Structure 1
């Protein structure tokens, strides 16, 4: 799936906070495979903006609570 991204996420922690939601359950809620959720969670794949919003909505939190991008690091 290409190189890792600098975007980090809190999906694992959010799943734990939401009654130990499984990766499979989250995948079902946002309409992707469990493997896609695993890749996003591990930082190996960046979701589309639409999918990112769907993930945030699944947890009932703002996008910033799910995904973080480090500031001050220019390419």
Structure 2
């Protein structure tokens, strides 16, 4: 039982990270959809392939978050 909860928790964590990382890339919507299908329907394999394929590629930084200086 505890092992199952651990595995599901690990998968959920990896899935959240991959989806967040995928959202920050500059790929087209079609490419993102294809990756999303791969990650969701091939649970661990899809995430591993995403990590391997996306490592070292530049990502969009998103909007700059500046803090007011004191």
TM-score (norm 1): 0.36
- Larger Rg: 1 or 2? 2
Larger proportion of strand? 1
| Larger relative contact order, structure 1 or 2 (CA cutoff 8 Å, min sep 6) | 1
TM-score (norm 2): 0.38
